[in-house]
Amino acid sequence: MASYLDKQDLKDIDEQIKWAQIDKDVLRSLENPRWSYWVAFAFCVALLAIAVTAETYQYLYGMGYANLNWPHMWDLYIATFVFWIGMSHSGTLLSAILHIVQADWRKPIYRFAEAMTTFTLMTAMLFPVVHVGRLWNVYWTLPYLSDRGIWPNFRSPLIWDAFAVFTYLTSSALFLFIGSIPDLAICRDNATGWRKKLYTVLALGWQGTDHQWRHFRKAYLIMACFLIPLAVSVHSIVSSDFSMSLNPGWHVTTFPPYFVAGALYSGCAGIMTLFILLRHFFRFEKYMTLSIFEKNAKLTFAIAMVWTYLNLIEFSSVWYGHSVADKEVLWTKFTGAYAPYFWSMIFIGSVLPFTLCFQRLRRNLPLMFVISIIFNIGMWLERWMIIAPTLQLSYHPIAWNVMWPSAVQWGIVLGSIGWFGLLFLVFVKIIPSVSMYEVKEMVYHRKHGEDATVAPEPSYSLSGGGGAAGVHPAAAKPDPEGGQQ
Amino acid sequence: MSKHRVLGLFKDFEGATAAITDMREGKVPGANIDDVTVMSPIAPHPAIEDALGHRTTPVGKFTLAGGTFGVTFGFLFISSAQANFLVQPQGGKPVVPLPTNFIPTYEMLILFSVLFTLVGLIIFARLGRPMRGLYSEKVSLDQIGVMVDNLDDRQYEAVKSLFQERNALEIREEVINK
């Protein structure tokens, strides 16, 4: 076992794996996870219970118990909303962008990254609901005609948010579903009982015909092409919630790219965390290899450096802009009440990624698991440090106030991790978290030494006569066990 | 007169491609290449697509239609809603501001493009309908299926022997009553 894994360390995947073995390994994950899966499940349920308790308390006794008061009207809730929206960019990056550039190492891991996109968006969308406080009026957040015949203000970035996040959730959920159809057919063909019925419905009658594959590939490519500008627009629009205002610290032109870089960063860090967990839960060492993990780690490092650069751009443009109020907010970030959090963010976001430069550290998965979680804490701090210092120090001295979130806010924020984790853990027990058909393609193309993009010369004789004269040698001798390869 | 349908299961793409190429070269007199369907666990090998001949997909046209609809609907929806604001003082600002309307319109463009693409996929890939023809679970596992439809008795025998020549692992057949 050890020698097998050592050999595996050097490759993205072992191209000698039989297709039937891929199906067997992945389908087994739907039935038989390690006990640690159930520990994680229980942990998420516990976190969610904390959130439900906190939300019930806030609902019964009012928003004041969350320490939400003027000028800190949206604090942790909006920071966590932005954090979860940012995490959602992982799926788009790994699935759509790497699909278009045909980086085949994404194939064993893109499915769970796409799922992460959908579930982080579902988690993010809870926060406007929680933040509204009066849950019975939550529909006011939707762009609809009011009873006084007035439409919402379409000039407001908050309305753009509603359009963008809804579009992103719909598109990414469909992208996830469409990409899963061939695998759902495999599940259908191998399942029994209630799973058989479920997969029969979800597979939509997929038979793997050349007609279906042709339309499928086209549709998948088109959706991938649309998802990339959509993802960029979503986080740009979220950044507009702040940058379109005139508040010091927020009215910054670099906010949209800064938000997108932060989103990709936290998305990549999230992928690192879930990669390590799934590899452990489902014994996916053969598919989620160290080589693939390293590629993702290097990508994370590159994005971390982009994020660092954009931070410097933001700070220097504020500093040399000579706007007194903006400068004061920046200086308060450096030295004020929130300074420990701010410098933690800088350390985690810009210095800690250098651990990813060392192969020995990159290959230490327990260490990487801890570091990836710290990255995400750093990215969460980034969002909080965007919100709180500006709310603390706006234009009017009467509104200057440092506020610390209450246990109610912390409870709901922690509970959102439980909600996301629960959705994700249920998903990976029902839908294969490794794409079987894409891994088969990866193995096939690597084994045959082909670039997946280039049609190889047929290895049989087109002018061959009858019999086996024109047949590829591999086909000339039937394999009694049957099957590809 | 009854017609036949035959499914040959092959070990790999090479065998399947060779069988299709034989048919294309006229080894099954009167057989139509459009009646040949390949079933595979992964997207068919480019050599198979060459052997099957050029087959197009109109899914992209649905995307174009969706995008056009999305832009039109998105802009008209927002603009017509804003036209209701005429009763309110605008403070010198345009009733229908183009730069800000661009953003929700852009989102609608993407949303409807994606939705129409999905509809196109469902229609053309015949998704959501009962499975038709011969199907083997082995084609979702590790074998390549070549199914030929609308064969008369003579063609049916020719296809079966051709599949055997090309080392098909298994041959299934059914009679289509017309």
pLDDT above 90 as % of chain A: 67
For residue B3, what pLDDT is reported?
Answer: 86
Q: Above 80 in pLDDT, residue A341?
A: yes
Residue A448 or residue B102, greater confidence: B102
Note whether B73 contacts A: Cβ–Cβ < 8 A. Answer: no
Q: Angle at the Cα of B121 (from B119 to B127), degrees rounded to 5?
A: 95
Cα dihedral B103/B106/B111/B114 (nearest 10)? -150
For residue A475, what pLDDT is reported?
Answer: 36
Q: Above 60 in pLDDT, residue A357?
A: yes
Note whether B43 contacts A: Cβ–Cβ < 8 A. Answer: yes
For residue A142, what pLDDT is reported?
Answer: 78
Residue A353 or residue A322, greater confidence: A353
- Chain B residue with Cα closest to A161: B104
Contact (CB<8Å) A468/B131: no
Q: Above 90 in pLDDT, residue A196?
A: yes
pTM: 0.89
Considering only A70-74, A204-208, A274-278, which range has the smallest mean pLDDT? A70-74
Note whether A173 contacts B: Cβ–Cβ < 8 A. Answer: no
* Interface A-B: count of C-beta contacts within 8 A: 231
For residue A463, what pLDDT is reported?
Answer: 29
SS3 state at A469: coil
Banded pLDDT at A227 (limits 50, 70, 90) = very high
For residue A407, what pLDDT is reported?
Answer: 94
Q: Among positive and negative, which fits the CA dihedral B45, B48, B54, B60?
A: negative
The top-scoring range by mean pLDDT among A60-64, A479-483, B92-96 is A60-64
Note whether A441 contacts B: Cβ–Cβ < 8 A. Answer: yes
Q: Above 80 in pLDDT, residue A462?
A: no
For residue B92, what pLDDT is reported?
Answer: 80
| Residues A220, A174 contacting (CB under 8 angstroms) | no
Note whether A184 contacts B: Cβ–Cβ < 8 A. Answer: no
Residue A475 or residue A183, greater confidence: A183
Per-residue pLDDT, averaged over A125-139, amounts to: 85
Specify the pairing of strand B144-151 against strand B170-176.
unpaired
Note whether A482 contacts B: Cβ–Cβ < 8 A. Answer: yes
For residue A466, what pLDDT is reported?
Answer: 32
Which of A89, A168, A93 has the alpha carbon at shortest distance from A379? A89
Q: How many residues does chain B have?
A: 178
For residue A481, what pLDDT is reported?
Answer: 47
Q: Above 80 in pLDDT, residue B175?
A: yes
Banded pLDDT at B34 (limits 50, 70, 90) = confident
Contact list in B for residue A441 (CB cut-off 8 A) is: 42-43
The pair of three-digit structure tokens given for residue A181, joined into one six-digit string? 């159809």
Contact list in B for residue A470 (CB cut-off 8 A) is: 18, 21
Note whether B26 contacts A: Cβ–Cβ < 8 A. Answer: no
Note whether A448 contacts B: Cβ–Cβ < 8 A. Answer: no
> Considering CB atoms only, which of A160, A217, A230 is closest to B104?
A160
Contact (CB<8Å) B14/A204: no
Banded pLDDT at B82 (limits 50, 70, 90) = confident
Q: Above 60 in pLDDT, residue A3?
A: no
Q: Above 70 in pLDDT, residue A456?
A: no
Banded pLDDT at A483 (limits 50, 70, 90) = low
Q: Above 80 in pLDDT, residue A477?
A: no
Contact list in B for residue A484 (CB cut-off 8 A) is: 11-13, 41, 142-144
pLDDT above 70 as % of chain A: 91
Amino acid of residue B83: A
> Considering CB atoms only, which of B12, B43, B169 is closest to A217?
B43
Answer left, alpha or beta for residue A472, where phi above 0 means left and psi between -120 and 50 means alpha.
Answer: beta
SS3 state at A161: helix
Contact list in A for residue B137 (CB cut-off 8 A) is: 189-190
Note whether A211 contacts B: Cβ–Cβ < 8 A. Answer: yes
pLDDT digits (tens, 9 = 90+) for B128-159: 888 877 888 999 998 999 999 888 888 888 99
Distance in Å, alpha carbon of A52 to nearest chain B alpha carbon = 33
Which residues make beta-bridge pairs with B3? B176
What Rg value do the Cα atoms of chain A yield, rounded?
Answer: 25
- Chain A residue with Cα closest to B87: A150
Banded pLDDT at A1 (limits 50, 70, 90) = very low
For residue A129, what pLDDT is reported?
Answer: 87
For residue A454, what pLDDT is reported?
Answer: 39
Distance in Å, alpha carbon of A92 to nearest chain B alpha carbon = 14
Banded pLDDT at A198 (limits 50, 70, 90) = very high
Which of B30, B31, B48 has the alpha carbon at shortest distance from B39? B48
pLDDT digits (tens, 9 = 90+) for A65-106: 888 888 888 889 999 999 999 999 877 877 888 888 888 888
A residues 50..79 contacting B (CB < 8 A): none
How is A200-255 classified by DSSP, letter by letter? HHHTTT---BHHHHHHHHHHHHHHHHHHHHHHHHHHHHHHHHHHTS--TTT--TTH
SS3 string, chain B, reads CCEEEEEEEECCHHHHHHHHHHHHCCCCCCCCHHHEEEECCCCCCHHHHHHHCCCCCCHHHHHHHHHHHHHHHHHHHHHHHHHHHHHCCCCCCCCCCHHHHHHHHHHHHHHHHHHHHHHHHHHHCCCCCCCCCCCCCHHHHCCEEEEEEEECHHHHHHHHHHHHHCCCCEEEEEEECC
Can you tell me the distance from the alpha carbon of A474 to that of B15, in angstroms, rounded to the nearest whole number? 8
Distance in Å, alpha carbon of A139 to nearest chain B alpha carbon = 18
To test the contact with chain A by mutation, choose from B95, B115, B142 the residue with the greatest count of A C-beta atoms within 10 A, namely: B142
Note whether A485 contacts B: Cβ–Cβ < 8 A. Answer: yes
Contact list in B for residue A189 (CB cut-off 8 A) is: 137, 140-141
> Considering CB atoms only, which of B21, B118, B141 is closest to A174?
B118
Q: Among positive and negative, which fits the CA dihedral A436, A440, A443, A446?
A: negative
Note whether B75 contacts A: Cβ–Cβ < 8 A. Answer: no
Considering only A192-206, A362-376, A421-435, B22-36, which range has the smallest mean pLDDT? B22-36
Q: Above 90 in pLDDT, residue A350?
A: yes
Q: Above 90 in pLDDT, residue A416?
A: yes
Note whether A205 contacts B: Cβ–Cβ < 8 A. Answer: yes
Q: Above 60 in pLDDT, residue A247?
A: yes
> Considering CB atoms only, which of A159, A208, A214 is closest to B41?
A208
Per-residue pLDDT, averaged over A307-327, amounts to: 92
For residue A7, what pLDDT is reported?
Answer: 56
pLDDT mean across residues, chain A: 87
Note whether A11 contacts B: Cβ–Cβ < 8 A. Answer: no
Distance in Å, alpha carbon of B154 to nearest chain A alpha carbon = 18
Note whether A37 contacts B: Cβ–Cβ < 8 A. Answer: no
Q: Above 70 in pLDDT, residue A6?
A: no
Note whether B174 contacts A: Cβ–Cβ < 8 A. Answer: no
Residue B54 or residue A224, greater confidence: A224
Q: Above 70 in pLDDT, residue B78?
A: yes
A residues 233..272 contacting B (CB < 8 A): 233, 237
Per-residue pLDDT, averaged over A397-413, amounts to: 90
A residues 314..343 contacting B (CB < 8 A): none
Per-residue pLDDT, averaged over A43-64, amounts to: 94
- Chain B residue with Cα closest to A437: B42
Q: Above 90 in pLDDT, residue B56?
A: no
Banded pLDDT at A485 (limits 50, 70, 90) = low
Considering only A68-72, A453-457, B34-38, B132-136, which range has the smallest mean pLDDT? A453-457
> Considering CB atoms only, which of A154, A219, A466 is closest to B120?
A219
Q: Above 90 in pLDDT, residue A132?
A: no
Note whether B9 contacts A: Cβ–Cβ < 8 A. Answer: yes
Distance in Å, alpha carbon of B152 to nearest chain A alpha carbon = 22
